[in-house]
Amino acid sequence: MKLLVTGGCGFIGTNFIRLMLDAHPDWSIVNLDKLTYAGNRLNLLDLEENAPRYEFVHGDICNRELVMDLLNDKRLDAVVNFAAESHVDRSINDPSPFVTTNVGGAQNLMECARQRGIERFVHVSTDEVYGTLGPSGKFTETTPLSPNSPYSASKAGADLMARAYFETYHFPILITRCSNNYGPYQFPEKLIPLMFLSAKADKSLPVYGDGLNVRDWIYVDDHCRGVELTLTKGREGQAYNFGGNAEETNISVVKTMLSILGKPESLITFVTDRPGHDKRYAMDFSLAARELGFAPTLPFSEGLARTVAWYEANGPWLEQVQSGEYRTFMDTWYEERG
Ligand code: NAD
Ligand code: TYD
């Protein structure tokens, strides 16, 4: 199979490309990435230099001509769309790029793929499209979409567009909705790598609100396997939930990290809450278990220790991704939260 992966220079895309090239000797992958602040071409430089089954293309999923030409010239069979603006806090500061890429770009990809007769298209959505949960219950695929942040609203827009492409055009699209990922190559604006950086530098760890918001954490490789199963075995038109069976409060995640790193809990600072902050996410992924044979493999404690070890071993990567643009956003956002 010849696969177009978009956003492959970001966190999940990088892990997905590495895993898939390893697992499928008969697959080749073209990675289309705009290289925003969150995209790092160097993540996959070893593949660019040594792997004939991997090719990088610098470009925007919003670009109709580029995507049409790519699908034609490279004779691609399937598309997996990871490309997105992905950080909730940035979407609060400025929703516009979220609408442009996450809705407009996703629709452009679907349209090009439809016109080119692509046989399989996996759109990577998120659990955040469902909104928030109370203390009990879990999201299922039939939970109404009820997004609360500009990020999740833009993801819900694309998710619904994907549904419409199936219903209207019988376009062979599949949707994945996964919970919070963690693991190697995650950009240090997200909770786990950000807390790692702060703890290592003996700086304060900014926990929003009371720290009791709950996320269901999944190790990135497990999510990637979910996407792979969806691509190879999923039913067209279906959305599949994926989760890690690992509900944790933010404060508990932060304390566990401090303990792994041997740093004191006095570094924790409670800061002004994120507006519209979803209280709890939890995933019922029994459909994916039943239809695709999906199960998360890594317990949270093991995955977190593995992730911390990766960041410990990859100091130069962390240094390199903290560009001037990164520092500007981080300084302003956290200054405003006190
Ligand atoms: P990320 O921010 O680390 O990476 C996004 C990548 O997309 C970057 O390489 C960036 O350069 C690229 N990109 C952005 N705009 C583009 C455009 N217009 N054209 C081409 N490339 C563009 O994000 P991530 O955490 O790897 O998430 C990947 C996908 O998975 C996203 O769609 C996200 O919504 C979804 N998702 C993420 C999580 C999570 O916990 N991180 C959970 C569920 C779903
Ligand atoms: P994040 O990694 O941004 O993922 P998402 O918002 O998509 O779930 O945040 C995970 C949780 O951690 C979320 O409840 C917000 C919280 N959080 C903090 O408490 N402090 C921080 O500095 C960040 C970035 C997140």
pLDDT value for 326: 82
Q: How many angstroms separate the CA atoms of 39 and 106, rounded?
A: 17
pLDDT value for 338: 78
pLDDT tens by residue, 263-291: 999 999 999 999 999 999 999 999 999 99
pLDDT value for 8: 98
- The average pLDDT across 296-314 equals 97
Active site residues per annotation: 127-128, 151
| Best mutation site among 133, 177, 215 for ligand 2 pocket (most ligand atoms within 8 Å of CB) | 215
- 12 CA → ligand 1 middle, Å: 7
User: Which residues form the domain of 153?
Assistant: 2-185+218-243+276-298
31 contacts 59 by C-beta, under 8 angstroms: no
Q: Is there a domain that residue 338 lies in?
A: no
Q: How many angstroms separate the CA atoms of 25 and 5, rounded?
A: 16
Q: How many angstroms separate the CA atoms of 140 and 125, rounded?
A: 14
- 182 CA → ligand 2 middle, Å: 12
Which range, of 47-51, 76-80, 120-124, averages the lowest pLDDT?
A: 47-51
What DSSP state is assigned to residue 266? G
Atom 14 (ligand 1) nearest CA? 84
pLDDT value for 67: 98
CA nearest 162: which of 116, 103, 232? Answer: 103
Kindly report the average pLDDT of the chain as a whole number.
Answer: 97
Q: Does the pLDDT value for residue 228 go beyond 80?
A: yes
| Best mutation site among 5, 9, 12, 139 for ligand 1 pocket (most ligand atoms within 8 Å of CB) | 12
Q: Is there a domain that residue 311 lies in?
A: no
- Percentage of the chain exceeding pLDDT 70: 100
Residue type, 251: I
Q: Is there a domain that residue 323 lies in?
A: no
Among the atoms of ligand 2, which is closest to the Cα of residue 189? 24
Q: What is the CB-side half-sphere exposure of residue 9 using CA atoms within 13 A?
A: 22
Among the atoms of ligand 1, which is closest to the Cα of residue 186? 3
Q: Does the pLDDT value for residue 109 go beyond 80?
A: yes
- The average pLDDT across 116-136 equals 98
Q: Is there a domain that residue 334 lies in?
A: no
> pLDDT band at residue 325, thresholds of 50, 70 and 90?
confident
Among the atoms of ligand 2, which is closest to the Cα of residue 195? 22
pTM of the model: 0.98
Q: Are strands 268-271 and 205-208 parallel, antiparallel or unpaired?
A: parallel
pLDDT value for 133: 98
Count: domains in the chain: 1
Q: Is there a domain that residue 163 lies in?
A: yes
pLDDT value for 285: 98
Q: Which two tokens stand for residue 46?
A: 């070893």
pLDDT tens by residue, 60-71: 999 999 999 999
Closest ligand by atom to 127 CA: 1
Q: Is there a domain that residue 332 lies in?
A: no
Among the atoms of ligand 1, which is closest to the Cα of residue 182? 40
Report residues whose beta carbon is within 6 angstroms of any ligand 2 atom: 88, 180, 190-191, 194, 206-208, 213, 215, 250, 274
pLDDT tens by residue, 31-42: 999 999 999 999
Q: Does the pLDDT value for residue 327 go beyond 90?
A: no
> pLDDT band at residue 174, thresholds of 50, 70 and 90?
very high
**Alpha helices for 95-186 (secondary structure H):** 96-98, 106-115, 150-169
Return the CATH number at 178. Answer: 3.40.50.720
Rg (alpha carbons) of the chain, rounded to whole number = 19
Closest ligand by atom to 12 CA: 1
Q: Is there a domain that residue 253 lies in?
A: no
- 191 CA → ligand 2 middle, Å: 5
> pLDDT band at residue 329, thresholds of 50, 70 and 90?
confident
Q: Is there a domain that residue 305 lies in?
A: no
Q: Does the pLDDT value for residue 324 go beyond 80?
A: no
